[in-house]
Amino acid sequence: MTSHTLRAPTRLLFGPGPSPVHPRVYEAMREPIVGHLDPFFFEVNQEIARLLRTCYGTANEFTMVISGTGSAGMEAAVANFVEPGAKTAIFANGYFSDRLAEMAGRHGAEVVRFEKPWGEVYSDEEAREFILRERPAVVAFVQAETSTGAYQRPHAIGATAREVGAISIMDCVTSLGGMPVDVDAAGIDVAYSGTQKALGCPPGLAPITVSPRGVEWLRQRKTKPVSWYLDLKLLLDYYESAHRYHHTAPISMFYALREALAVIEEEGLEARWDRHKRNHELFVAGLAEIGVEMLVAPAHRLWTLNTPKVPEGVNDLEVRKTLMARHSIEIAGGFGPLAGKVFRIGTMGYGSTEENVRLLLAALKEALGR
Ligand X SMILES: Cc1ncc(COP(=O)(O)O)c(C=O)c1O
User: In the set 146, 148, 307, 347, which binds ligand X (CB under 6 A)?
Assistant: 146
Is-contact 360 344, C-beta < 8 A? no
User: In the set 33, 42, 47, 69, which binds ligand X (CB under 6 A)?
Assistant: 69
> Judged by CB under 6 A, does residue 74 bind ligand X?
yes
Binding map of ligand X across residues 81-120, x = CB under 6 A, - = no contact? ---------------x------------------------
> Judged by CB under 6 A, does residue 194 bind ligand X?
yes
Nearer to ligand X, 16 or 225 (CB): 16
Q: Taking the complex as a whole, how short is the minimal distance between the CB of residue 172 and ligand X, in angstroms?
A: 8
The secondary structure of 195-232 as a DSSP string is SSSTT---S-EEEEEE-HHHHHHHHH--SPPS-STT-H
Rounded to an integer, what is the distance from CA 291 to the centroid of its chain?
30
With CB under 6 A, what is the number of residues at the site for ligand X?
A: 14
Is-contact 179 303, C-beta < 8 A? yes
User: In the set 70, 119, 154, 177, which binds ligand X (CB under 6 A)?
Assistant: 70
> Judged by CB under 6 A, does residue 283 bind ligand X?
no
Nearer to ligand X, 57 or 94 (CB): 94
Touching ligand X, residues 155-174 (CB under 6 A): 171, 173-174
φ, ψ of residue 178 to 5 degrees: the values are: -125, -20
Number of neighbours of residue 131 by Cβ within 10 angstroms: 24
Determine the Cα–Cα distance for residues 217 and 221; give it in Å rounded to an integer. Answer: 6
> Judged by CB under 6 A, does residue 252 bind ligand X?
no
Nearest CA-CA partner of 283 in 308, 247, 253, 262 = 308
Nearer to ligand X, 141 or 283 (CB): 141
The residue sitting closest to ligand X, measured at its beta carbon, is 70
Nearer to ligand X, 162 or 301 (CB): 301
DSSP 296: S
- Cβ partners under 8 Å of residue 124, min gap 6: 153, 155, 156
Q: Taking the complex as a whole, how short is the minimal distance between the CB of residue 173 and ligand X, in angstroms?
A: 4
> Judged by CB under 6 A, does residue 349 bind ligand X?
no
Binding map of ligand X across residues 171-190, x = CB under 6 A, - = no contact? x-xx----------------
From residue 125, how far is each of 22, 121, 163, 258, 264 by CA, in Å?
40, 12, 14, 39, 34
Span of 70-78, 160-168, 283-291, 296-304 interacting with ligand X by CB under 6 A: 70-78
Nearest CA-CA partner of 198 in 214, 171, 229, 175 = 175
Cβ-based burial of 282 (10 A; exposed 0-12, middle 13-18, buried ≥19): middle
Where do contacts with ligand X occur on this chain (CB under 6 A)? 16-17, 69-71, 74, 96, 142, 146, 171, 173-174, 194, 203
